[in-house]
Amino acid sequence: MTDQDRIKIAVQKKGRLSGKSLELLGSSGLDLELHLGRLFARCRKFPLDIIFLRDDDIPGYVQDGNSDLGIVGRNVVEETGARVERLEDLGFGRCELAIAVPGKSGIDESGQLAGKRIATSYPRILSSFLAGEGILGVEIIEINGSVEITPAMDVADAVCDLVSTGSTLKLHELVPIETVMSSEAVLIAGAGGMESWKEDLVDRLRFRIRSCLRARNTKYVMMNAPEASLEKIRKALPGMKSPTVLPLARKGMIAVHSAVPEDEFWDIAEQLKVFGATDILVVPIEKLVF
């Protein structure tokens, strides 16, 4: 295989998305050959090369065809305005771009921001949000980093910044009043399509990524139950294919195994207990291939 037969993916070199991006590619069975400090890595088991970049540069690289794919926050994609296509939502790097004001400002909804100063690293997203809401006369102050200190310095009346746990806002006595967008890491490709051999490789990679993502959100649940409850238990396991049912040595008892969406697990477990299930065992799934 020559270098011409390989595709490229751009990931963040150093930051919040770097570890999780590599972890996802690693669990997709690519066998990454990483060297500390290098701007480039190769996969041994898949014709894919990884380019490490600052996250702000990734959408432009993908738009211009210098990289076929990229992993980056949706917030960065929107802010750069790059012409790229979003292929997959990757479920990590979740955050919200929110407008927040000092607790004592007397402002509690975005309509009151007309004529005020808002500091942000996301002027493009913010101005289109304000225009969409018909909020006029806002002075957008573009700042790279430490946006949250600007109200205390009387540089701005409000901030528009990324929030995940909310502790940074709290520390600076700021209160969120509006969510401008929700974001997470996304897999992107150029908007203009690509040659068919590349598309085939991208499809194979997406299939692997989806199997890993699905596995993360799913748990394998095993339980013992009275045979008479099987029908009720089967109904309590929503959206799943037929569960595995095995006889137990004790007469009238069975073991039921099934994959369950993680966020529904506790609701399902409560029902299972009502139907007489015991010894409910939950184990992680590494891959889930349909």
Q: Does 173 bind ligand PRT (CB under 6 A)?
A: no
Q: Which does 183 bind (CB under 5 to 8 A by kind): ligand PRT, Zn ion, none?
A: ligand PRT
Among 28, 63, 75, 218, binds ligand PRT (CB under 6 A): 75
- Report long-range pairs for 280-285 (Cβ below 8 Å, ≥24 apart): 280/221, 280/222, 280/223, 281/221, 281/222, 281/223, 282/219, 282/220, 282/221, 282/222, 283/219, 283/220, 283/222, 284/215, 284/219, 284/220, 285/215, 285/218, 285/219, 285/220, 285/259
Q: Which does 151 bind (CB under 5 to 8 A by kind): Zn ion, ligand PRT, none?
A: none
Question: Which residues face 51 on adjacent strands?
Answer: 10, 40
> Angle of helix 18-27 relative to helix 196-216, nearest 10 degrees?
100
Site for ligand PRT in 122-161 (CB under 6 A): 161
Site for ligand PRT in 9-38 (CB under 6 A): 12, 15-17
Residue 182's CB is within 10 A of a number of other CB atoms, namely 12
Tally of residues, the chain: 290
Site for Zn ion in 46-65 (CB under 5 A): 55-56
CB of 249 to ligand PRT, least distance (A): 50
Q: Which does 273 bind (CB under 5 to 8 A by kind): ligand PRT, Zn ion, none?
A: none
d(CA 121, CA 156): 13
Torsion of CA 121, 127, 129, 133, to 10 degrees: 140
Q: Does 168 bind ligand PRT (CB under 6 A)?
A: yes
CB of 52 to ligand PRT, least distance (A): 9
d(CA 219, CA 212): 12
Q: Which does 164 bind (CB under 5 to 8 A by kind): ligand PRT, Zn ion, none?
A: ligand PRT
Among 60, 73, 151, 243, binds ligand PRT (CB under 6 A): 73
Q: Does 167 bind ligand PRT (CB under 6 A)?
A: yes
Residues contributing to the site for Zn ion (CB under 5 A): 55-56
Residues contributing to the site for ligand PRT (CB under 6 A): 12, 15-17, 54-56, 73, 75-76, 93, 95, 161-168, 183
